[in-house]
Structure 1
Amino acid sequence: MQYNEIGKTGMKVSNLGFGASSLGGVFHGIREDEAIQAVHTAVDGGINFIDVSPYYGHLKAETVLGKALKDIKRDSYVLSTKVGRYGKDGVNYWDYSAKRAKESVYESMERLNVDFIDLINVHDVEFANLQQVVDETLPALVELRKEGVVGHVGITDLQPENLKWVIEHSEEGTVESILNFCHYCLNDNLLTEYFDFFEKRGIGVINASPFSMGLLSMRGAPDWHPATEALREACAKAARYCDEQGYPIDKLAIQYSTSCNDHIATTLFSSANPKNVLKNIDYVNEPIDLQFVDKVKEIIGDQMGVRWKNS
């Protein structure tokens, strides 16, 4: 496992990070004891960055993760959670007000059984009024940073142009890291167009969803995935080729997202299954076949970088 600094924060994190969305049963039902063991397996395997949100499973992911963290030394992991996006009684809702942001941080700490959040993020700013994020949400989190309640402040979104806008309109030093997903993976390198912008400002880059929300897997993307049919077919063709060559596409995908760019501090994957966690750690610790990467990109062809709605 390699370790990189997130921007100028001083936080050194593993190039493979643990995304705890699966602990909330976001993708399918889970066994809580197995999910807790998945967290322990990740940390034991060298992963020291854990990312979660009150939105995942509508508080369930943070609650389950909190149970897992009880048995892990606090100095052995860097913890990230979010504010702004929530859910209750099966209904999603958003609240980017300063008051709710501060309340949410303390509520998260209670569920997570910690008294300090290393990195607090404004979650999926595309759902917010971006000006409110600049004028209200971020300043509230900066206050908590000054008070020592949180260590660092970041923002997350699917659309990198939104991240850029918020940074450009915020006071320098407010945003210390960004989290973007599905835009640095085998079929999409859009995030690379923003690396210089982030680096010039000392802002760390966190990548997520190396499997492009299921596109880069033998199982294929779920029905709700917003990708075009042509992109689905291209990725499925690439997955079949990888399978025929004995080099699973999920292995290539996670190796690519964690080893092929120095601008990215860590790449998040999510699983509530200890065996899958261990498998992905093993994948990342093996050398990547870059010629195979080129072949897969060739198969995906003109569907490389094709964006879908809200991406």
Structure 2
Amino acid sequence: MASPIAPLTPVAGTAGTAHPLGLGTAPLGNLFTGVPEQDAAAAIGTAWDLGIRSFDTAPLYGYGESERRLGRALRDRPRDEYTISTKVGRLIREGAPPSPEQLHDGEHFYKTSGKANPVFDYSYDGVMRSLEESLERLGLDRVDLLYIHDPDDHYAEAVDGAYRALDSLREQGVVRAIGVGMNQSGMLADFARDGRFDYFLLAGRYTLLDQGALEELLPLCLENGIGINAGGVLNSGILADPSPGATFDYVPASAERLRQARAVAEVCARHDVPLIAAALQFPAAHPAICSVLVGARTEREVRDNDRLLSHPIPAQLWEDLRERGLIAPGAPTPG
């Protein structure tokens, strides 16, 4: 089922030639584990060779390292032939204390060697500083799409400060589109009602394990013409490999989540379908979803994701998942 809302395409491209995948670059900011520079460059280069032209990053990812790596890898590519989205709401500051939400059991999610840490700032001026610093790290004069990043505990400031700044940047033509990126759907629905946004980045809330966005957010976005870029479709790893130690929402998965993921994997195995293939293809079937953003650390992961996005999946697999209560009754499925 094709989305009635067009994805943001390169200036030199058209919606008809847009690759359905975008490359998420949180892993290239050393999420969970360090990624060598050459592997990061190879992953981005392979995405380009496969026709992927949408790249998503953020100051938070590696505390600036993802943006720097993405900028270096795309430096010699024609600027009008790809789109970049980045985010605002966190400034990266040397000497700032570690941010508690970026720690689990005392360890940083992003493995960095410097002394910089993220600092929340959703003010109008903070957004302008954030964009300026992102452009410097990227080595670019513009980005295409700018998201307010994870304003879970900062809604009022995000509306009064960040949204006003983004709306002004869009009005001036500094950015082509604006949005909000979050790991929850409820507050995105509030933003949809309270502002005029082009796209949302919905991370982890419309997947084979969590269809929480189905009832309210996705219909609201269709009604308001807001495109959804689906991120976190592997729920930070558990839908790639639901083995002990797998992560869900960036922390070790609960026993219940492991059971749920293994039940989905069992259905996929019965139909000889890789679990990742089903996880990639499921969200793309909803008409509110414009693209699927998938992170990768290596060239091989990028190639595998590209291949599995078109892996044949029999309609009966989706029916079996629905009959077992593993996907919601009203969730659209491919085919």
Deviation at 1:21, TM superposition (A): 0.6
Query: Aligned-pair distance for 1:185?
Result: 1.4
Please identify which structure carries the higher helix content: 1
Task: Kindly tell me the number of residue pairs found equivalent between the two proteins.
Answer: 298
| Identical columns (%) | 29
**How far apart, CA to CA, are the structure 2 residues paired with 1:107 and 1:200?**
35
Distance 2:39 2:255 in 1: 35
Corresponding residue for residue 291 of structure 2: 266
Contact 1:7 1:176 in 2 (8 A): no
For the pair 1:103 / 2:140, whether they are aligned, the reply is no
Residues in 1 aligned to 2:52 and 2:8: alpha-carbon distance in whole angstroms: 18
**Would you say the 8 A contact 1:8–1:176 is kept in 2?**
no
Check conservation: 1:188, 1:304, Cα contact below 8 A: no
Q: How does 1:13-92 map to 2 (within 5 A)?
A: 13-88=18-93, 89=115, 91-92=117-118
Q: 1:65 to 1:7 in 2, by over 3 A?
A: closer
Shift in Å, 1:14: 2.8
Matched-pair contact (CA < 8 Å) for 1:51–1:79: yes
Moved over 6 A (4+): 7-11, 302-305
> For 2:23 and 2:151, how far apart are their aligned partners in 1?
22
What secondary structure does 1:82 align onto? Answer: strand
Q: Tell me, what secondary structure is at the counterpart of 1:14?
A: coil
Are 2:238 and 1:212 aligned? no
1:242–1:200: structure 2 CA closer, same or farther, 3 Å change rule? closer
Q: What is the distance in 2 between the residues matched to 1:239 and 1:285? A: 18
Q: Is the 8 A contact 2:10 2:53 kept in 1?
A: no
Letter in 1 for 2:141: D
Range that drifts further, 277-286 or 222-231: 222-231
TM-score by length of 1: 0.86
Given that residues 22 and 271 in structure 1 are in contact (C-alpha distance below 8 angstroms), is that contact kept between their aligned partners in structure 2? yes
Residue 156 in 1 paired to residue 164 in 2? no
CA drift of 1:265 comes to 0.3
Question: How far apart are residue 41 of structure 1 and its match?
Answer: 0.9
Letter in 2 for 1:77: Y
Aligned to 1:125, what secondary structure does the other structure show? coil
**1:254 aligned residue (264, 280, 287):** 280
- One-letter amino acid matched to 2:204: C
Q: Tell me the TM-score normalized by structure 2.
A: 0.80
Provide, for residues 175-222 of structure 1, a one-character-per-residue CA deviation record: whole Å limited to 9, x for no partner: 111111112211222222222211221111111111122221225422
Aligned partner of 2:315 in structure 1 is 290
Structure 2: which 5+ residue stretches go unaligned? 94-114, 330-335
Counterpart residue identity of residue 200, structure 1: E
Which amino acid is the alignment partner of residue 235 of structure 2? S
